[in-house]
Structure 1
Amino acid sequence: MKNHKADITSLWSGICIDDDLKAFEVLFHLLHVKLIKFCVFYIHQKEPAEEIVSDVFVKCWESRKILHHIVNPETYMFVAVKNQSLNYLKKYSNIHIVQIENSNEVEFINIYDPQKELEKKELNFLMDKAIASLSPQSSIIFRLIKEDGMKYKEVAEILNISPRTVQTQLFRAMKKLAVILIAHRNSSKPADKKVAAGQHITDLGLLLILLKIFF
């Protein structure tokens, strides 16, 4: 077991530091089948599970330069697959079955809101720019929690630090991001007090959005 873990860690180092594609292929073959079985446990469908696992591997390769701080890569992979599986289930929960009035028929209604999704994408774009200004450890902690939906304990295990350190780093990152995002919103000076008051409300709303996303 220790040798297996050492092998995974060595491969991960080669991927993140040396851009070793061969190491990535070996890691894929080592974990691919296990991760698919693990994913099927959540979503009960093999084909979507294969896609989810492939997406996680692709994301790991694309983000490899910011993932080299991860101490337990196998744990990271399993947690990432778990959270992507839950996201998959949440995505399809947008489809609701509704009984048609005065009939025995039902129809499927998609409650997906494109406007809300657009606003979320715009906020994520601003945050991605702000995240680039964080320290390496704060950045990886923020991304593990924001993008992968991990808990403090999971991140602590992956990075081999205490949950308290994770919490402290996350709060520091959020404070800095809030300052950056609010400064961005205020870059265009309000024309009058009413607009300024409205801007202040927007700033408070932005902070509430950040809190809602992470807590």
Structure 2
Amino acid sequence: MNGNDYKTELWEKICSRDDMNAFESLFHSLNKRLIQFCVVYVRRIEIAEEIAADVFVKCWENRKSMPEIKNIEAYLFVAVKNHSLNYLKKYSSVTWNSLQNENKYELIDLFDPEKEIELKELAFKMEQAIQSLPLQAQLVFRLIKEDGMKYKDAAEILDISPKTVQTQLYRAIKKLSHIFSAYQTKAVCKSNT
């Protein structure tokens, strides 16, 4: 059973049987990804956590009237996107802060402190590079490369065509490659001095 089938099965249990365990499983399988997705819009983790929680609460409260939803994952991503946009409209004077999620990258060699610093620096540079992308390219990159979504699902969530998803992903990868080739050139020059 693939991930979407599993989530669909959970959603059916939630709607038909008020199954709290199924709801908790659905929450744990998607909450972190929804928060990361939301942060791209609102730029504050606390707000992203509130928005994701609100979406889950509304789903639980309205479960009886929503059994026709077949792709609950896509539905939740679209709901988070819409709540995020509504938040931005309401609080457009909010200062945008950059997010530094230290737990995002776990590949650390504990026996080599120098390597640990290099990996953290690289992760920080990668996050900065992703945040420098135009918003749509950033969202496409995160959904496809970080969340492992298919083009069709990302297109549905962002309300764009799969071809636009493909184009935006190509542009994002091209820009990131350019940024990191410059970074790599600097690193080689630094190590040769």
When normalised by structure 1's length, the TM-score is 0.43
Structure of greater relative contact order (alpha carbons < 8 Å, 6+ residues apart): 2
- The answer to which structure has the higher strand fraction is 1
Bigger Rg, structure 1 or 2: 1
